[in-house]
Structure formats: C-alpha cells, structure tokens
Amino acid sequence: MTADDQGPALAPRAASVPLQLRLDATKPEARATLKALASEPRTRILELLSDRLLNVSEIAEALAMPLSTATLHVNTLEDAGLLRTEFRPGERGLQKVCQRIYDEVVIGMPRASLEEPARLVELSMPVGAYVDAEVAPTCGLAGSNGIIGFTDDPTSFYEPSHVDAKLIWFKSGYVEYQFPNRLPPQTTPDSLWLSVELCSEAPMHHPDWPSDITVTVNGVDIGTYTCPADFGGQRGVLTPEWWDTRNSQFGVLKEWRVTEEGAFIDGVPASGVRIGDLGLTSSRRIAVRISVKPDAQNVGGVNLFGSGFGNYPQDIELKLRYH
C-alpha cells in the first residue's frame, strides 16, 4: 500500500519519541511481522531507514545487494506494515521511496486467562464522547475536518458536536467518560486496564513541557503520569493534513492498570489503590476522569488523541478481567 493510501506524504521521522508497534503474539499480523523481522537483510534495511528516506535503488546500493533482492525485501516489510512507500518522479521514471514507520516492536505473549473471551470485557470510547467537562484555556476540540466551536473557549466543550472530536486539549481541569459496566452477574473483577494516547498541552508545541496527568476511576485517583512534552513539529502518522504541524501532533500511548496488588502505569507502581477500591460490582457504569489538577506540581495541560489523530489508531480503551 502506498503512502497515498495511508495519509500524508512521507517525511523523515524525528527521534524524539520512539513509535511503538504493539502486537498480540496470537494474531496473524504478529506472525507476519515476526517473519518479516527474521531476516538479517531486512533488519539492515530497517536500520538504514531509521533516520532517512531512500528509494529501492539507493537501498540496494548501500547494502550491496541486487536491486531485485532489495525490491523483494522492501515488499515483505511493506506487507508486514513496517514500511510505508510512495512513488516519486526520478531521473529514470518513478522511484519507490521508503520510510520506516516504527522504532520499537512490542510483542504481547499469550496468556491463557486473557485469551478466554468469557473472562475479558473490552470497551472503546471516542475522546469526544465525554459526559462532563470543566476546562481552562488553552483549550479546544478538533474533528476529522476542522475545529469544533472556537479555540480557547471552554463553552465549546458543550457543543452538541463535541462527540465527533478526535482530538481535545486543555490547560487544566478534566473530562469525564462513563463506560457501561459489562461485568456479568455473580462475577468479581480482578484487573482493570485503561489505555490512551496523550501528551502535555503547550502553546503550539514544546519539547520540554512537563504535565501531571491524573486518571480517576469511580472517584478514586489511581495514578498520575508526568508527561515530559507536547510533541509537534512533525506530523503524526494519522494526523490529518489540515492540522498545522506547528500544533500538537501525537502523544505517547500510556496504560493505567489496577489489580489486586495495586495500581500501575506501564507496569510501574503508581499507587496503593486496589481493584476492590473501585466499587466496580455496585454500579452500572464506570466513571473515568482524565484531569490536570490546578494544584498539581506541573500544570502543563493535556492533549487526548483519538482514532484519526496522533500515532495510534485507537480511542480510549478500557478492559476488565474477572473471575
């Protein structure tokens, strides 16, 4: 698939934030990716493309391999979703220019308890589908085709069309989402995961702009992540072309998890909150609040990226494991 099929034109990626590809080892796409990586010539091609764009002829010359061989390897990497390509005019007709997409590949190993559909509830919530908001400028909402309401106007967060937002941002305050509680009767939850792409919120963007972003579930703070920056200057993989590259472009994919042992952010202990503290068995809804508290040490705002903005094709994802 060419870059024209996937979005904006190719451009060299900055090395500021590693872009991860997360895969489930039990899925066919994971096996295709592993097969593509199980080749020294193909890993050398990925290394060569880590900070530059090259056409297939340049790759073949740099690695001293026949052009036909380089073409086969590039096609394999492209089919596995590890490269993007586009055709550009050259001295001898069209040239196939290649870009590496990811810096890291994370493979989730199979775990029997998580592979039983009857024991795992998975829910997805668009970033614009909040039910309550109280925010302070800078703030705003963006959909697939333009701004919703007005920038730096908190009342725009109450526009009926806020549900169509793919990106929302604010300096301080919160947005709250209500997920349906799909736990079956007579069951007990033992783990909760929340995953979202986010970054700080600076005017335009800023590489050194820390912000304390807190996630609260059913009124209980489960952990605060200090994001180091507001990432911009380089278009996000999914960010639409109408959105100025001087603005926030992408975030980092963070995961909050609460178990019987405590709360964690990307596997690192975040608080002593346990799954039983969240009251999940006594309510038909799960209230999730994402906030930057006005009295936080680093009030650097937050950008929340949904599907269609940023680097990850997802909205806010919630999972519950139960027994």
| pLDDT, averaged in runs of 10, over the chain (323 residues) | 44 61 79 89 92 90 93 91 85 83 83 59 97 97 96 97 98 98 91 96 94 98 97 92 94 96 94 95 94 97 96 95 91
Phi, psi angle pair for 263, to nearest 5°: -110, 145
| Phi and psi angles of residue 245, each rounded to the nearest 5 degrees, phi first | -65, -15
Burial string for 19-30 (b: 16+ CB within 10 Å, else e) reads bebbbeeeeeeb
Same structural domain, 171 and 244 = yes
Q: Backbone phi, then psi, for 237, in 5-degree steps? A: -55, -35
The predicted pLDDT at position 17 comes to 60
What CATH number is given to the structural domain containing 50? Answer: 1.10.10.10
One domain for residues 211 and 152: yes
Q: Which helix (H) or strand (E) segment is 5 a member of?
A: helix 3-6
Write the pLDDT tens digit of every residue in 162-184. Answer: 999 999 999 999 999 999 999 98
Specify the pLDDT at position 108. 80
Q: Are 197 and 265 in the same domain?
A: yes
First to last CA, the chain: 42
Which domain range does residue 29 map to?
A: 3-105
Kindly state whether residues 123 and 250 are assigned to the same domain.
yes
Q: E strand or H helix at 76, and its extent?
A: helix 67-79
- Among 105, 138, 164, identify where a domain stops: 105
Q: Which long-range contacts (CB under 8 A, 24 or more apart) does 108-117 make?
A: 108/22, 108/23, 108/24, 108/25, 109/25, 110/24, 110/25, 110/26, 113/321, 114/321, 115/26
Q: Does residue 293 contact residue 177 with C-beta atoms inside 8 Å?
A: no
Predicted TM-score (pTM) of the model is 0.69
Q: Are 140 and 243 in contact (CB under 8 A)?
A: no
> Token digits for 217?
């579930």
Rounded CA gap, 88 and 104, in Å?
A: 27
Torsion 38-44-49-51 (CA) sign: positive
Domain end among 54, 70, 105 = 105
Distance CA 280, CA 68 (A): 58
Q: What is the pLDDT of residue 144?
A: 94
Residues 54 and 158 in one domain: no
DSSP-assigned letters across all residues of 37-75: HS-HHHHHHHHHTTS--EEHHHHHHHTT--HHHHHHHHH
The model's pLDDT over 274-293, given as tens digits with 9 standing for 90+, comes to: 999 999 998 899 999 999 99
Q: Which of 71, 105, 139 represents a domain boundary (last residue)?
A: 105
What total of structural domains would you count in the chain?
A: 2
Are residues 180 and 85 both part of a single domain?
A: no
